[in-house]
Amino acid sequence: MSQGDFVRQLDSGSSAIYGAPSHWHKIHMDLPLLLLLMVLAGAGLFILYSASGQSAHYVNRQLSYYGVGLLVMLITAQIPTRFLERWAIIPYIGGVTLLVGVLFFGIGAKGAQRWLEIGGFRFQPSEILKIAVPLMLTSYLARRPLPPSFKHVFFSLIFIAIPPLLVVLQPDLGTAILIAVSGFFVLFLAGLPKRYLGFALLAAVVVLPLMWLYGLRDYQRQRILTMFDPEADKLGAGWNIIQSTIAIGSGGVDGKGWMRGTQSQLDFLPESHTDFIIAVLAEEFGLIGVLLLMTLFLLIIVRCVMISLRAQSMFGRLLAGSLTLTFFVYIFVNMGMVSGILPVVGVPLPFMSYGGTSIVTLMLGFGMLMSVSTERKRPG
């Protein structure tokens, strides 16, 4: 630690500006963000061990996902933002092509075709779009004069609309909305004029009732209705929400203790190690645990916002900002659905829920943020 003093004086973000790179800077890592993510991952494993019923199997698998994710983040962070900006169209086109592929060759479960299988490896192309759409939008808008003109807004909306429409056909309404939202964040941060925002609100008021009547499938309508009255179908669709609400509420302020949550340990809580893992945390660590986790999430978000504000290019700012907001949306939707204020859509809680796809996708996004955090000022 020969440079110890130096590092202490200047945080790694500002070191980029002053051109005095630390070891971390050389490998394009933002140390505070990296540390926060490690803490979050550690907490995630800790909860997962209890939520999976003390399964070493799940914990080991999750640990290996983190490993792969870390590798993906490291590699992504090495890609210069200029390169990302120039080739953003490639993942977008590729993702859309795969989505079309899903419609024809997709593998389904429970009435929906969401998976593609290539060489024995199964994945959901819609996950790629969660990153590819904001990347594409950022690349498109960053080089245009901002706030965007009508023409640019128009084209942006087309870019935003295509992937969600394909995803809705699978059908996977939840993911479609999340993809659209991630693209919309770019437009918003790029300075979408306020009159468009007003127009968008108005359009939503008109379109939502029509969607309800014609756009939604029965199971989707059922999920939304269930949210408003879970008691109506206690053993069916409402079961998950009732049980997770009981788990959260019975945790109280200080929780029942690690691995002592009766709801989760006795299997009343469905999907306890994946989408509903927050209920396990809330039951075993109480409101204190929830607040600690929320603080951790907010610290990460604040650090990401700082990265976006310090970014050297408009592309970097927009990309970092939109990925940060998307990250928060996942947290909000997941914690909202588990606690019964949003309909149940299959959104995992970032870094906490068990599952490789989610972790790798998230790490890809954070890799891009790392890349933004160390980008060099561009000439003119």
Partner 1 sequence: MNDDHALKNPQMEFRLFVGRMLFAMLVVLVMAGVLVGRYYYLQVVRYDGLTTLSDRNRVLVEPVPPTRGLIYDRNGVLLADNRSSFNLSIVVERAGELEELIAELDELIGVSDSEKKRFYKQLDRRRRPYEPVPLRLDLNEKEQGVLAVNEYHLPGVEVTVQLLRDYPLGRETAHVLGYVGRINDREIQGLDPVRYSGTLVTGKTGLEKKYEDELLGEVGYQTVETNARSRVMQQLERTDPVPGKDLHLYLDSRLQQLAYESLQGERGAVVAIEIATGGVLAMASAPTFDANEFVTGISFDHYDELLNSPDRPLFDRVLQGQYPPGSTVKPIFGLAALESGVIRSSYKIDDPGFYQLKNEERKFRDWKKGGHGNSISLYDAIVQSCDTFFYDVGVKMTIDTLSLYGSYFGLGEKTGLDMPTERAGIMPSRAWKKGARGLAWYPGDTVNASIGQGFSLVTPMQLAEATARLASRGEVRPPQLVRKQHALMPPVNIIQASEANWDYVHKAMQDVVHNVRGTAQKINRGLNYHMAGKTGTAQVIGIKQDEEYDAELVAKRNRDHALFIAFAPVENPKIAVSVIVENGEQGSSAAAPVARQIIDAYMKYYPEALADITGQQSLRAAGGQ
What separation in angstroms does the CA of 230 have from each of 242, 244, 337?
Answer: 6, 11, 12
Residue nearer to partner 1 on the CB measure, 258 or 328? 328
Do the Cβ atoms of 186 and 137 come closer than 8 Å?
yes
Least CB distance from residue 35 to partner 1, whole Å? 21
Contact status: 247 vs partner 1 (CB under 8 A): yes
Number of Cβ within a 10 Å radius of residue 303: 21
Contact status: 314 vs partner 1 (CB under 8 A): yes
Comparing C-alpha atoms, which of 35, 44, 75 is closest to residue 62?
44
Residue nearer to partner 1 on the CB measure, 91 or 289? 289
Amino acid at 380: G
Residue 302's φ and ψ, nearest 5 degrees, are -60, -45
Interacting residue with partner 1 among 24, 196, 239, 258 (CB under 8 A):
239
What token pair was written down for 302?
């604040």
Interacting residue with partner 1 among 86, 122, 143, 377 (CB under 8 A):
143
Least CB distance from residue 56 to partner 1, whole Å? 15
What separation in angstroms does the CA of 170 have from each of 148, 158, 264, 342?
Answer: 32, 19, 32, 21
Between residue 164 and residue 223, which ones bind partner 1 under the rule CB under 8 A? 185, 188-191
Contact status: 357 vs partner 1 (CB under 8 A): no
Least CB distance from residue 222 to partner 1, whole Å? 15
Q: What's the 3-state SS for 145-208?
A: CCCCCHHHHHHHHHHHHHHHHHHHCCCCHHHHHHHHHHHHHHHHHCCCCHHHHHHHHHHHHHHH
Least CB distance from residue 165 to partner 1, whole Å? 26
Interacting residue with partner 1 among 7, 11, 116, 144 (CB under 8 A):
144
Interacting residue with partner 1 among 175, 317, 362, 372 (CB under 8 A):
317
Do the Cβ atoms of 357 and 116 come closer than 8 Å?
no
- The residue ranges that bind partner 1 (CB under 8 A) are 143-147, 152, 185, 188-191, 235, 239, 243, 245-253, 262-263, 265-270, 282, 286-287, 290-291, 294, 297-298, 301, 305, 308-309, 314, 317-318, 321, 325, 328, 332, 335-336, 339-341
